[in-house]
Amino acid sequence: MPDMTPIKNPMPLLDMALRQTSFNEVAQGYDEETARREARRCLRCKNKPCVAGCPVQVAIPEFISAIACGNDAEAYDIIRETNALPAICGRVCPQEMQCERRCVRGIKGEPVAIGRLERYAADTAILSDGDAAPDALKQSEAQPRTSSEEPQVASCKAATAHIETGKKTVKAAVIGSGPAGLSGAGTLARLGFDVAIFEALHEPGGVLTYGIPEFRLPKALVKREIDSLRSLGVRIETNTVVGKSITIDDLREDGYAAFLIGTGAGLPSFLRIPGESLNGVYTANEFLTRINLMKAYMFPDADTPIRVGKKTAVFGGGNVAMDAARCALRMGADVSLVYRRGRDEMPARAEEIEHAQEEGVRFELLTNPIEFLADDSGTVRAARCVRMELGTPDASGRRKPRAIEGSEFELACDTAVIAIGNSPNPVFVKSVPELARTAWGGIDADPQTGKTNLPGVYAAGDAVTGAATVILAMGAGRRAAQEIVLEYNNSL
Amino acid sequence: MVANALYKIINKRPLHSTVTWMELSAPRAARRAKPGQFVILRVDSAGERLPLTIAGADPVRGTVTVIYQKVGATTNKLDMLDVGDALADVAGPLGEPSKLEGIGSAALIAGGLGIAIAYPIAKALKAQGSRVDGIVGFRNTDLIILKNEFESFCDTFDILTDDGSNGRKGFVTDGLSARLESGKTYDEVIAIGPLPMMKAVCALTKKYNIKTTVSMNSIMIDGTGMCGCCRLTVGGETKFACVDGPDFDGHLVDFDEAIRRGRYYREQEQESMARLCRLTGEARACRI
């Protein structure tokens, strides 16, 4: 009989004093007993609505059932069949918008804590498996379980056999080592391709490394996932800006036949208000890159500095805004988060919003900045803001905020962080003018297959969709990799 | 990450007491480098990302050369390495190459270390048959670098020092002004050096309505257009020095903003330097 407790087993959290001062991981993860208890809340519905809500169709009831029965390793293997990075997804997926939103238990009470259980399975496997993990992973994708519902995966199995028995190994170049690239590279390597990932920065991981902070996604975990790709034979060439250091044509000359572009959405959007170039006004990308990639929170032990003032204002309502606000808080600032809509409209994961608020980030909702004001040295001293109200729903269905006349006020801040979104980074695409792009600068690729207008060139993730989520990028990377396998299977 | 054997120091020589010329193994950057582009390097695994203009590239040897002045912790740490040592990272070439096509005659103005950036441009201009009037300025005679190398690519060459200890006494603007007053015209003036120098050159050439290109060396992190740290205002628009530049139309650049943004981490730079001095006990480096 399922456990009919109406609420999720709570996630144990780091001590609040540490949360406010250190970059240690906040969510501590379920222990074994809690995980078993939570797993028993699953009703094992026949029609599996949760699976339909998952961008990579993880066999959710099956893996939860394995946990309930005490088979954690099996649970992990089940997840790995369709999800290359479960330890990461368990932490950063917006489950409340995806699998958990469809969970039948959510109708009367809270859904099953699917994300927390996914993380539990992954963390347990990592702890217990050690070096054996990569070999087990090699098997999982080559011999998929869910053949009945996923003809593409079944075809991949045939492709594997072909490529592995043939003499010729296809060389595939993956451009960008973020979620789309890592997931695509893993799929290609497991299916017998000779894979190299080209990364512009000095560390691989893309947004997992430069964007998402340590307290939400420990970098050791990212490193571990990347090492497991290396053990599959994937080469990672850092410091290589494709389009600058090397071109697609160079790579073709070097024998690369297939290309998977996962260059992400790394071009920061600006508010386009006066004062945005004042000192102390950061884009979230700069703020988070200094902290996460360059470890500026350890300055001067790390060489890269950051200046976080006494009062920091973060503008935006997504995960990036929450990350920036919580970083600033840990560096000793009094933090306001300014968002033009209401709390219910915030696009961030529910858990991040809760954590930010618990830690002491003050929310200035229905508020919009109109100008940054400077002190004598040209550093920001305040943001002039206006209060907003929600009007009629716009095309996206969200109620459009509009300014309330006469409501202007000054919000004092000596550091401001703009976290209102990113669009695809143009550096790579500019180097390939013949690659078709969308009107807004994304790569024009088939949303199902990732196929672009150029032969052998596929694209996936935020570079195609614009800024979205880790799991969507991973799903797209994997699908594109499977298409590459099909293409080269047919043409060999 | 440990120092990467890929990025070995092949050659190194001091140009004077605080400026060093260094040849680095970086095959990819060497193969694609064009005048005006830069590399970003990290000295070690805790290092910051330091952009340095590529002074020269040898695709056959797989090397790029950079010239740096020991001003802060990172450049001092870099200078402590010797031939055979390796850097943690070298990425590049980054930025847009200088656009030199169609320039029949140019005044190439370099101030101080800016000559290191101007040098490959002089070479490229000469190679395409442009007429080049070189005007270079230094604070004093002890700081002069690359004089002969630069001069060899110029049709005329003027050197000025702030104190008159070499060449004429004065600033590069005095040298340029003298030429413009005598009726000389140029297709383009290219000015490379400290921000106040480039600002002054632009103020002068604006009066004569001569197209003027400047090279902006803003503070950068990724150098690929991601962080926006290096942003500057050009003709009222936000541009990124790393991907839109580093060359810009000097008459449109908001220099005062660039000067202000360049100073934002001064205290932290001093703190880093003081820490390095404590760690190495090197009194010489502590002149801040």
pLDDT digits (tens, 9 = 90+) for B133-161: 999 999 999 999 999 999 999 999 999 99
Does the beta-carbon distance from B42 to A201 stay under 8 Å? no
pTM of the entire structure?
0.91
Q: How far is CA A85 from CA A179, A233, A358, in A?
A: 9, 17, 28
Establish, for the pair of chains A and B, how many residue pairs have beta carbons separated by less than 8 Å: 123
Best of B1, B218, B222 to mutate (most A CBs within 10 Å, chain A): B222
CA distance A272 to A315: 13
Best of A210, A239, A269 to mutate (most B CBs within 10 Å, chain B): A239
Which of B1, B32, B227 lies closest to A244 in CB terms?
Answer: B32
> Mind listing the pLDDT tens digit for each residue in A91-132?
999 898 999 999 999 999 999 999 999 999 999 988 876 544
Of the two residues A126 and A427, the one the predictor is more confident about is A427
Our CA-based measurement puts residue A430 at a distance from the nearest CA of chain B, in whole angstroms, of: 11
Identify the band that residue A393 occupies on the pLDDT scale cut at 50, 70 and 90: confident
Q: What average pLDDT does the segment A192-205 reach?
A: 96
Token output for A289: 């890159």
Helical ranges in B35-113 per DSSP H: 73-79
Identify the band that residue A490 occupies on the pLDDT scale cut at 50, 70 and 90: low
Which of B47, B94, B260 lies closest to A244 in CB terms?
Answer: B94
Counting the structural domains of chain A, the total is: 3
CA distance B41 to B48: 8
Nearest to A190 by CA among A166, A159, A211: A159
ipTM of the shown complex: 0.94
Does the beta-carbon distance from B268 to A280 stay under 8 Å? no
Phi, psi dihedrals of residue A63, rounded to the nearest 5°: -70, -35
The residue type of A334 is: D
Residues of B within 8 A of A282 (CB-CB) are: 229
| % of chain A with per-residue pLDDT over 70 | 91
Q: Does position B9 have pLDDT exceeding 70, yes or no? A: yes
Residue A474 included in any domain: yes
Phi, psi dihedrals of residue B100, rounded to the nearest 5°: -110, -10
Residue A3 included in any domain: no
What pLDDT is attached to residue A144? 37
Which of B222, B226, B231 lies closest to A277 in CB terms?
Answer: B231
CA distance A168 to A176: 25
What pLDDT is attached to residue A168? 57
Residues of B within 8 A of A377 (CB-CB) are: 260
Q: What average pLDDT does the segment A417-441 reach?
A: 92
> Based on the domain organization, do A256 and A385 belong to the same domain?
no
> Based on the domain organization, do A155 and A261 belong to the same domain?
yes
Identify the band that residue A156 occupies on the pLDDT scale cut at 50, 70 and 90: very low
Dihedral in degrees, nearest 10, Cα atoms A319, A322, A327, A333: 160
Q: Does position B4 have pLDDT exceeding 80, yes or no? A: no
> Based on the domain organization, do A352 and A283 belong to the same domain?
yes
Residues of B within 8 A of A302 (CB-CB) are: 46, 48
> Based on the domain organization, do B126 and B89 belong to the same domain?
no
Residue B21 included in any domain: yes
Spell A392-404 as b/e; 16+ CB within 10 A means b. eeeeeeebebebe
Residues of A within 8 A of B46 (CB-CB) are: 295, 301-303
The sign of the dihedral angle between the CA atoms of A208, A210, A211, A215 is: positive
- Mean pLDDT of the residues in chain B: 92
The sign of the dihedral angle between the CA atoms of A155, A159, A165, A166 is: positive
Residue B244 included in any domain: no
Token output for A49: 């609505």
> Based on the domain organization, do B14 and B115 belong to the same domain?
no
Our CA-based measurement puts residue A426 at a distance from the nearest CA of chain B, in whole angstroms, of: 8
SS (H, E, C) chain A: CCCCCCCCCCCCECCHHHHHHCCCCCECCCCHHHHHHHHCCCCCCCCCHHHHCCCCCCCHHHHHHHHHCCCHHHHHHHHHCCCCCHHHHHHHCCHHHCHHHHCHHHCCCCCCCHHHHHHHHHHHHHHHHHHHHHHHHHHHHHCCCCCCCCHHHHHHHHHHHHHHHCCCCCEEEEECCCHHHHHHHHHHHHCCCEEEEECCCCCCCCHHHHCCCCCCCCHHHHHHHHHHHHCCCCEEECCCCECCCECHHHHHHCCEEEEEECCCCCEECCCCCCCCCCECEEEHHHHHHHHHHCCHHHCCCCCCCCCCCCEEEEECCCHHHHHHHHHHHHCCCEEEEECCCCHHHCCCCHHHHHHHHHHCCEEECCEEEEEEEECCCCEEEEEEEEEEEEEEECCCCCEEEEECCCCCEEEECCEEEECCCEECCHHHHHCCCCCCECCCCCECCCCCCCECCCCCEEECCHHHHCCCCHHHHHHHHHHHHHHHHHHHHHHC
Token output for A474: 């991973």
What pLDDT is attached to residue A308? 96
> Based on the domain organization, do B120 and B178 belong to the same domain?
yes
Nearest to A266 by CA among A211, A339, A213, A212: A211
Range of the domain at B55: 5-94
Q: Determine the residue of chain B that is closest to A428 in CA distance.
A: B224
Report how far Cα A59 is from the mean position of its chain's Cα atoms.
20
What pLDDT is attached to residue A129? 62
What pLDDT is attached to residue A492? 54
Q: Does position A160 have pLDDT exceeding 60, yes or no? A: no
The residue type of A443 is: I
Residue A239 included in any domain: yes
The kind and range of the H/E element at B123 are helix B114-127
Task: Give the CATH number for residue B9.
Answer: 2.40.30.10
Nearest to A234 by CA among A199, A201, A186: A186
Report how far Cα A111 is from the mean position of its chain's Cα atoms.
22
Last residue of a domain, one of A420, A450, A472: A420
CA angle at residue A282 from A276 to A287, to 5 degrees?
Answer: 170
> Based on the domain organization, do A305 and A412 belong to the same domain?
yes
Q: How many CB atoms lie within 10 A of CB B142?
A: 12
What pLDDT is attached to residue A53? 93
Residues of B within 8 A of A303 (CB-CB) are: 46-48, 73-74, 77, 272
Does the beta-carbon distance from B227 to A377 stay under 8 Å? no
What pLDDT is attached to residue A141? 39
Last residue of a domain, one of B175, B198, B215: B215
Last residue of a domain, one of A89, A116, A138: A138
Report how far Cα A185 is from the mean position of its chain's Cα atoms.
16
Counting the structural domains of chain B, the total is: 2
What pLDDT is attached to residue B282? 58
What pLDDT is attached to residue A167? 43
Residues of A within 8 A of B263 (CB-CB) are: 279
> Based on the domain organization, do B210 and B123 belong to the same domain?
yes
Last residue of a domain, one of A370, A403, A420: A420
Q: How many CB atoms lie within 10 A of CB A406?
A: 7
Residues of A within 8 A of B77 (CB-CB) are: 303
Residue A6 included in any domain: no
Which of A277, A285, A303 lies closest to B46 in CB terms?
Answer: A303
Our CA-based measurement puts residue B233 at a distance from the nearest CA of chain A, in whole angstroms, of: 8
> Based on the domain organization, do A279 and A399 belong to the same domain?
yes
Residue A8 included in any domain: no
Residue B228 included in any domain: no
> Based on the domain organization, do B34 and B74 belong to the same domain?
yes
Range of the domain at A388: 270-420
Q: What average pLDDT does the segment B81-90 reach?
A: 95
> Based on the domain organization, do A220 and A259 belong to the same domain?
yes
Give the least confident one: A129-133, B145-149, B191-195, B279-283.
Answer: A129-133
Bridge-based pairing state of the strands B156-161 and B89-94? unpaired
Coil, helix or strand at residue B237: strand
Which residue matches tokens 């413009």? B180
Last residue of a domain, one of B62, B94, B126: B94
Does the beta-carbon distance from A303 to B229 stay under 8 Å? no
Does the beta-carbon distance from A286 to B269 stay under 8 Å? no
Residue A5 included in any domain: no
Q: Does position A163 have pLDDT exceeding 50, yes or no? A: no
Best of B71, B77, B226 to mutate (most A CBs within 10 Å, chain A): B226
Phi, psi dihedrals of residue A231, rounded to the nearest 5°: -70, -15
> Based on the domain organization, do A276 and A372 belong to the same domain?
yes
> Based on the domain organization, do B115 and B210 belong to the same domain?
yes
Q: How far is CA B252 from CA A220, B115, B194, in A?
A: 46, 23, 17
Q: Determine the residue of chain A that is closest to B279 in CA distance.
A: A301
Task: Give the CATH number for residue A320.
Answer: 3.50.50.60
> Based on the domain organization, do B69 and B109 belong to the same domain?
no
The kind and range of the H/E element at B156 are strand B156-161
> Based on the domain organization, do A416 and A430 belong to the same domain?
no
CA distance A297 to A329: 12
Best of A244, A248, A290 to mutate (most B CBs within 10 Å, chain B): A244
In sequence order, the 6+-apart residues with CB closer than 8 A to the CB of B185 are B105, B208, B210
Best of B94, B220, B224 to mutate (most A CBs within 10 Å, chain A): B224
> Based on the domain organization, do B113 and B197 belong to the same domain?
yes
> Based on the domain organization, do A282 and A406 belong to the same domain?
yes
Phi, psi dihedrals of residue A189, rounded to the nearest 5°: -65, -40
Does the beta-carbon distance from B238 to A277 stay under 8 Å? yes
Residues of A within 8 A of B261 (CB-CB) are: 277, 279
CA distance A141 to B175: 70
In sequence order, the 6+-apart residues with CB closer than 8 A to the CB of A40 are A2, A3, A68
> Based on the domain organization, do A102 and A232 belong to the same domain?
no
Identify the band that residue B279 occupies on the pLDDT scale cut at 50, 70 and 90: confident
Using an 8 Å Cβ cutoff, are A193 and A168 in contact? Answer: no
- Mean pLDDT of the residues in chain A: 89
> Based on the domain organization, do A277 and A253 belong to the same domain?
no
Which of B48, B73, B89 lies closest to A239 in CB terms?
Answer: B89
Last residue of a domain, one of B198, B215, B232: B215
In sequence order, the 6+-apart residues with CB closer than 8 A to the CB of B255 are B195, B196, B198, B199, B202
Task: Give the CATH number for residue B139.
Answer: 3.40.50.80
What pLDDT is attached to residue A151? 35
Q: Prior bond to B246 cis, omega within 30?
A: yes
> Based on the domain organization, do B119 and B63 belong to the same domain?
no
Residue B85 included in any domain: yes
> Based on the domain organization, do B203 and B126 belong to the same domain?
yes
Residue B270 included in any domain: no
Which of A203, A300, A425 lies closest to B275 in CB terms?
Answer: A300
Residue B157 included in any domain: yes
CA distance B265 to B238: 21
Residues of B within 8 A of A251 (CB-CB) are: none
Q: What is the CA radius of gyration of chain A?
A: 23
CA distance A328 to B101: 47
The sign of the dihedral angle between the CA atoms of A292, A296, A301, A305 is: positive
Token output for B56: 């020269």
Task: Give the CATH number for residue A41.
Answer: 1.10.1060.10
Residue A4 included in any domain: no
Q: Does position B281 have pLDDT exceeding 80, yes or no? A: no
What pLDDT is attached to residue A161? 39
> Mind listing the pLDDT tens digit for each residue in A236-284?
999 999 999 999 999 999 999 999 999 999 999 999 999 999 999 999 9
Q: Determine the residue of chain B that is closest to A274 in CA distance.
A: B236
Task: Give the number of residues written for chain B.
Answer: 288
Does the beta-carbon distance from A238 to B89 stay under 8 Å? yes
What pLDDT is attached to residue A128? 78
> Based on the domain organization, do A306 and A204 belong to the same domain?
no
Phi, psi dihedrals of residue A173, rounded to the nearest 5°: -110, 125
Residue B126 included in any domain: yes
Does the beta-carbon distance from A279 to B264 stay under 8 Å? yes
B64 touches A at CB < 8 Å: no
In sequence order, the 6+-apart residues with CB closer than 8 A to the CB of A492 are A162, A163, A166, A168, A170
Q: How many CB atoms lie within 10 A of CB A149?
A: 10
